[in-house]
Amino acid sequence: DAKTTQPPSMDCAEGRAANLPCNHSTISGNEYVYWYRQIHSQGPQYIIHGLKNNETNEMASLIITEDRKSSTLILPHATLRDTAVYYCIAENYGGSQGNLIFGKGTKLSVKP
Amino acid sequence: DAGITQSPRHKVTETGTPVTLRCHQTENHRYMYWYRQDPGHGLRLIHYSYGVKDTDKGEVSDGYSVSRSKTEDFLLTLESATSSQTSVYFCAISEPDRGREETQYFGPGTRLLVL
């Protein structure tokens, strides 16, 4: 089973920051947190990942709490094309389910 | 674009027929994966490969076989397709770092309908 909890849906106004929360209270000390998104009918797209420190790339920022029990993905200026399902994944090293177990994610709707 | 293509992109077949899906990569990554995605289940791992001729089963491997005769191609075969195998199939690749699988990059998917 996925080791993360995310809200099923969120709305965001175009041009505003989208802050997507994720709880991963059972994550182990050496397991990364990954974020992917899936736009309708397309393959999942990698966004960012992190272990302990906050991370930023051209797509988003990832803020991980000091106790590593939760994280927030930030899309600084959401556009309509950011409407997608966002998956927060706590790495699951080993096991037949694979290292990335996708849960149900958060459906983000960016509105004009 | 992670240099991953899948073929065919869409296929309709009949129950009992064999089907082979192809994943091709241009990145020379060592690890390749096959997932299926169904409503209410998210993505589930079918099989994966950690090198040429090296493969292992995932969570939902029954009814599927794979082959990897060269680095760039990973084939998924449904020996005798069933309606329960109607799904969207995604291929992914990764390059392990420090002995662990790294970030996975996904292909565009293949929509398979078994009648």
CA distance B90 to chain A (A): 7
Write the DSSP symbol of residue B36.
E
- CA pair distance A12, A77, nearest whole angstrom: 10
To test the contact with chain B by mutation, choose from A102, A104, A106, A107 the residue with the greatest count of B C-beta atoms within 10 A, namely A102
CA distance A37 to chain B (A): 11
pLDDT of residue B98: 59
**B48: nearest CB among A46, A98, A103:** A98
Given pLDDT bands bounded at 50, 70 and 90, which one contains residue A101?
confident
Exposed, middle or buried by CB within 10 Å (0-12, 13-18, 19+), for B81? buried
pLDDT of residue A28: 82
Q: Where are the beta strands (DSSP E) in chain B?
A: 4-7, 10-13, 19-25, 31-38, 42-51, 54-57, 64-70, 73-78, 87-94, 105-106, 110-114
pLDDT of residue B90: 97
At residue A15, does pLDDT exceed 80?
yes
Whole-number average pLDDT of chain B: 92
